[in-house]
């Protein structure tokens, strides 16, 4: 059945290069057993005969619930071993793959430790909360020859692969001089609850880790930690990273030559959240501008595309999102083309009932996992290799630094400095809370 599902997917989405050993048993661990950690790892269970043997989290209730869910879904029906310290989990040295799905401020240290332990990885986006963390993670992956797939799964989204191949790769848009990327979801926390003691099931000291220690607030855990700059990089770090990465992949782009950004808390000043509710950023590439906009208030310009990208060419326009794409040719003689997201309910009926699953994203996650397994078997770079994830993540972090400093920034990745800007260069590394030590990139 696994082989049949894999071949069907390959034929449907032109993913025939994703060949991996569908009989090979692989032992898997998960660090961070919350929403997307479970969504990701259960898609892996659907497409390969893996055994999830270990789960790690600092929330005991979340950990127990995740263990019950995993046991109900994997073929062996075995309950994974439970850990509250990822170092102890990795010290068992019995894992082939580990997923890191913690809050953003806890990505770097487990990832580097897993690389040292000789484990291949799936790491959620954005890869880091500061640029030097990302440089250290990339260096560790290369030093220890680890395959690391980043959770920028737009690169494995079936209808977006089709749009890339049919319209961008074939040049049907003509010369593209501008891409607008955007998010108009009302996703920023708007509440302002009082601080309080953390719940008994949460080790808040360990959860905070290297981040600054804030008084515990119920907005922080679970999921709403994204409302605070202490743990992530706001809506730019959460949502722009997906769309910027998608544009870079679809157009074959590397590092932007310069980045600028403006914004702030312009409307919702009553919330406990300290991230901007309004922001624009310009990512400049040779002959191309990629412009990001987010507003967590008001109406989107196009209700059908509240989060997505619009590619403007001199022959056609392409709108692309997680839900659909629209190809809109200019002039006469060509009809517009609309394509909706692909679902796979017939092959994977559990997608219909799984709690909290983003059903429209499930096929993309499965494709991303297939690509990871193929890269592991071939010892090659996956489609969302950690270097690509680092470029997209660091570019978003630099946008936030540009907004903070009020000036345009240019990053020199070879020298790991912001060009001619010592103040900005210093901000590439966020202070770690003692006793945690910030990782440093080692030259490979």
Report the domain count for the chain. Answer: 1
Q: What is the pLDDT of residues 373-414, one digit of tens each?
A: 999 999 999 999 999 999 999 999 999 999 999 999 999 999
Q: Is residue 31 part of a domain?
A: yes
Q: Which pLDDT belongs to residue 331?
A: 84
Report the CATH number at residue 143: 3.40.50.720
Domain span at residue 109 reads 2-155+363-387
Q: Which pLDDT belongs to residue 18?
A: 74
Reported as a pLDDT band with limits 50, 70 and 90, residue 4 is very low
Q: Is residue 163 part of a domain?
A: no
Q: How many CB atoms lie within 10 A of CB 52?
A: 27
Q: Is residue 301 part of a domain?
A: no
- For residue 194, CA distances in Å to 188, 189, 207, 220 come to 17, 14, 19, 12
Share of the chain above pLDDT 90, in %: 94
Q: Which pLDDT belongs to residue 9?
A: 39
Mean pLDDT for the stretch of residues 290-308: 98
Angle at which helix 60-73 crosses helix 35-47, to 10 degrees, equals 20
For the cut 50, the answer to whether the pLDDT of residue 361 exceeds it is: yes
Q: What three-state secondary structure class fits 363?
A: helix
Residue carrying the six token digits 């993913």? 15
Q: Which pLDDT belongs to residue 222?
A: 87
| Long-range contact set of residues 10-14: C-beta below 8 Å, sequence gap at least 24 | 12/158, 12/342, 13/158, 13/161, 13/162, 13/342, 13/367, 14/161, 14/162, 14/165
Mean pLDDT for the stretch of residues 430-441: 97
Q: What is the pLDDT of residues 97-150, one digit of tens each?
A: 999 999 999 999 999 999 999 999 999 999 999 999 999 999 999 999 999 999
Distance CA 47, CA 442 (A): 35
Q: Which pLDDT belongs to residue 40?
A: 97
Q: Which pLDDT belongs to residue 15?
A: 46
Q: Is residue 79 part of a domain?
A: yes
pTM (predicted TM-score): 0.95
Mean pLDDT for the stretch of residues 308-315: 98
Q: What is the pLDDT of residues 88-101, one digit of tens each?
A: 999 999 999 999 99
Q: Is residue 115 part of a domain?
A: yes
Cβ burial 208-228 (10 Å sphere, 16+ → b, else e): bbbbeeeebbebbbeebbbbb
Reported as a pLDDT band with limits 50, 70 and 90, residue 444 is low
For the cut 70, the answer to whether the pLDDT of residue 14 exceeds it is: no
* Cα torsion angle, 149, 151, 155, 159, sign: positive
For the cut 80, the answer to whether the pLDDT of residue 11 exceeds it is: no
Q: Which pLDDT belongs to residue 108?
A: 98
Share of the chain above pLDDT 70, in %: 96
Q: Is residue 264 part of a domain?
A: no
Beta strand extents in 32-133 (DSSP E only): 50-56, 81-83, 97-100, 120-123
Q: Is residue 247 part of a domain?
A: no
User: Mean pLDDT score of the chain, rounded to an integer?
Assistant: 95
Q: Are 45 and 234 in contact (CB under 8 A)?
A: no
Distance CA 46, CA 313 (A): 39
Reported as a pLDDT band with limits 50, 70 and 90, residue 273 is very high
Q: Is residue 111 part of a domain?
A: yes
Q: Which pLDDT belongs to residue 17?
A: 56
Distance CA 439, CA 112 (A): 8
């Amino acid at each position: 059945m696994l082989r049949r599902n894999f071949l069907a997917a390959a034929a449907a989405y032109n993913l025939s290069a994703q060949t991996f050993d569908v009989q090979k048993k692989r032992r898997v661990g998960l660090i961070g057993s919350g929403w997307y950690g479970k969504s990701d790892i259960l898609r892996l269970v659907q497409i390969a005969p893996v055994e999830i043997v270990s789960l790690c989290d600092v929330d005991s209730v979340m950990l127990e619930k995740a263990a019950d869910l995993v046991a109900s879904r994997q073929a062996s029906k075995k309950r994974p071993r439970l850990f509250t310290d990822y170092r102890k989990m990795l010290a068992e040295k019995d894992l082939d793959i580990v997923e890191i799905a913690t809050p953003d401020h806890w990505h770097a240290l487990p990832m580097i430790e897993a690389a040292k332990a000789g484990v291949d990885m799936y790491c959620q986006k954005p890869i880091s909360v500061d640029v030097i963390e990302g440089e250290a993670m990339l260096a560790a992956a290369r030093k220890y020859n680890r395959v690391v797939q980043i959770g920028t799964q737009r690169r494995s989204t079936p209808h977006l692969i089709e749009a890339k191949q049919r319209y961008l790769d074939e040049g049907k848009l003509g010369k593209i001089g501008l891409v607008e990327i955007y998010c108009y979801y009302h996703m920023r926390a708007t509440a302002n609850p009082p601080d309080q003691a953390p719940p008994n099931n949460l080790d808040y000291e360990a959860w905070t880790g290297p981040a600054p220690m804030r008084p515990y607030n119920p907005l922080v855990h679970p999921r709403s930690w994204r409302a605070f700059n202490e743990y992530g990089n706001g809506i730019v770090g959460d949502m722009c990273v997906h769309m910027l990465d998608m544009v870079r992949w679809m157009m074959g782009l590397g590092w932007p030559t310069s980045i600028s950004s403006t914004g702030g808390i312009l409307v919702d000043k009553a919330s406990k959240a300290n991230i901007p509710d309004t922001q624009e950023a310009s990512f400049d590439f040779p002959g191309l501008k990629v412009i990001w906009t987010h507003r967590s208030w008001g109406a989107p310009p196009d209700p059908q595309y509240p989060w997505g990208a619009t590619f403007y060419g001199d022959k056609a326009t392409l709108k692309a999102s997680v839900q659909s794409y629209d190809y809109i040719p200019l002039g006469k003689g060509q009809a517009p083309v609309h394509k909706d997201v692909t679902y796979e309910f017939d092959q994977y009926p559990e997608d219909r009932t799984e709690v909290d699953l983003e059903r429209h994203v499930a096929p993309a996650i499965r494709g991303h996992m297939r690509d990871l397994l193929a890269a592991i078997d071939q010892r090659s770079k996956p489609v969302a290799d950690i270097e690509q994830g680092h470029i997209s993540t660091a570019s978003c972090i630099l946008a936030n630094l540009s907004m903070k400093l009020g000036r345009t920034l240019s990053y020199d990745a070879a020298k790991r400095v912001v060009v001619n800007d010592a103040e900005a260069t210093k901000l590439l590394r966020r202070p770690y809370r003692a006793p945690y030590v910030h990782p440093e990139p080692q030259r490979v």
